[in-house]
Structure 1
Amino acid sequence: MKSIKRIWNSFKIAFSMYSRIPMPRSEWTDENKSYAMCFFPWIGAVIGLLSYGVFRFSKWFGIHGGGNHALFFTIVLILIPVFVTGGIHLDGFLDTQDALSSWQTKERRLEILKDSHAGAFAIISCTVYFLMYIGVYSCLSVHSMEVIACSFVLSRTLSGLSVVTFPQARKKGMVADFSENASTKIVRATLCVYLILLCFLIPFIGGICGIGCVIAAGVVFGHYYRMTMSNFGGVTGDLCGYFLQVCELVMALVVVVVDVVAKSGIIG
């Protein structure tokens, strides 16, 4: 009974921390936080289901005389992850862009990550990021959307794995806190099971698009590790957010491009 309560509290903490979905209150004790990372990918499942639902509704709306509202629904799809998460990962992406663009020492880059002010490079990166997403989502098909819906779970599974496997850049902070209080072996094993299942499920659902999605995620994850180690000496919460945002955009881009090329008959 105690273990079930502990798991339930970890679930509530994960959704309270990484989403804006209302949750019952729970004490943020070390014990209650221990399995929180196991439920981090579940937030991706919520985002994926909402995104797929909105996309299918947009198709239904257009077929039944709703007019040409493609841009409106494209923007809604792009903003769903921001609304669900409250922009916590996007904030990390922007802070990281400022830090990387500073060309300072590791110590100074870590200080920039904690700076609450947005620099010029953060604003430029944010603009480019959303423009890229508009371009990618304007080319969506039902098939590519099915794969992209699953990609939100994959990105969070890999991000969670980085928390419990990569070195920590700081001894204090969100990632260090969750990593220290995690039942590391159980969390790592759970996330690895998620990863294995997703590496089979996504290609099964998406075929060549799904394969492209998994490969893209792996490439970004490898870049993420090298970047964090060389520039920051480990991971932080902001860097995890950076990875998640970049990974989701790259996966979506690859899926859409492969889908378009496959339909052109160039590849099977």
Structure 2
Amino acid sequence: MNRFKMILGFFSTIPVKNYEFIESDLGKGIRMVPLVGVLFGILLVCMNSILSFVLGKDTNAFLTIVFYLFLTGGLHFDGVADTSDGIFSHRSKERILEIMKDSRIGAFGVISLIILFLGDWLFLSKSSLFLIFLFPIIGRCIALFTCRLSTYARNEGFGSQFMIEAKKPSSLFVLISFILLIFLGSIFLNELAVIFAICLTFLLIAFVTKRINQKLDGITGDVIGFTIEISQLCFLIFATIGERLL
């Protein structure tokens, strides 16, 4: 329980009390990250359901994004901006890492955030409660998946601990278990578009992660945040396409 409280405090703004922060134990918490997504999903569905009685889908989707932003504290959005500024600068590895560490946001970071917010708003307004529940879970399963595929690009930082722990069999078991449970739930609810969306999302993020690893000789914490947010949007897009095709 202490490990979950620690990872919840690290990845969210939800107040967490009565836990001990153990830096050496933080990396093991990567296996708990999908559970943070489950908690986010429950909170988002509850808020969305309540607001649906008085607001239209577009307004509800906007407030869902605002609430999600509040829950994450903007942590992963910062990763999206920093990674976009670095990767799309087309500089050397060393220069890209310097750009990503810079607290200032550049043009590519602004553009990526605009696209992300508009995309989330558009596709959340078309999403069922099941998709709204799932999208933060998928993002955090992707975080675990990304860490399994990668090495750490910097010489120090919390990210290196996540990479080490994510490669262990217990982490793979957690990842597979969550995906299978989602697949079973999707079949039970006849939401086959979800399975289609998850498969495409994981394939796309595997490709993106591989390219970033090649460019940086690994990834950073910013890249983890980047893949979380991008995968969530991709999942919503692919689910919408899947509903048309299936």
TM-score (norm 2): 0.89
User: In structure 2, do the counterparts of structure 1 residues 17 and 256 end up closer, same or farther at CA, with 3 Å as the change threshold?
Assistant: same
Match of 2:41 among 48, 53, 66: 48
- Correspondence 1:26 to 2:13: no
* Distance 1:256-1:33 versus aligned 2 partners, 3 A rule: same
Structure with max Cα Rg: 1
Shift >4 Å, 4+ stretches: 180-183
Query: Match for 2:101: what amino acid?
Result: K
Asked if 1:108 corresponds to 2:95, the answer is yes
The one-character-per-residue Cα deviations of 1:192-230 (angstroms, maximum 9, x if unpaired) are: 322333343344435222122212322222223222222
Q: Secondary structure at the match of 2:189?
A: helix
Q: Output the aligned Cα RMSD.
A: 2.3
Residue ranges of structure 2 left out of the alignment (5+ in a row): none
Match of 2:160 in 1: 176
* Corresponding position: 1:198 with 2:191: no
For residue 79 of structure 1, what is the aligned residue in structure 2? 66
* Identity, % of aligned positions: 23
Distance 1:182 1:27, change over 3 A: farther
Contact 2:150/2:163 (<8 A) preserved: no
| Deviation digits for residues 85-128 of structure 1 (CA, Å, limit 9, x no counterpart) | 11111110110110112110112111211111101111121112
Distance in 2, matches of 1:247 and 1:11, equals: 23
Ranges in structure 1 where 5+ consecutive residues have no aligned partner: 1-7, 63-68, 262-266
Q: Tell me which amino acid in the other structure corresponds to 1:35.
A: K
Matched, 1:89 2:76: yes
Q: How many residues align?
A: 245
TM-score by length of 1: 0.82
1:14 matched to 2:7? The reply is: yes
Query: 2:190 and 2:200 mapped to 1: Cα distance?
Result: 14
Q: Give 1:122's match in structure 2, choosing from 100, 109, 113.
A: 109
Residue 237 of structure 2 corresponds to which residue in structure 1?
Answer: 253
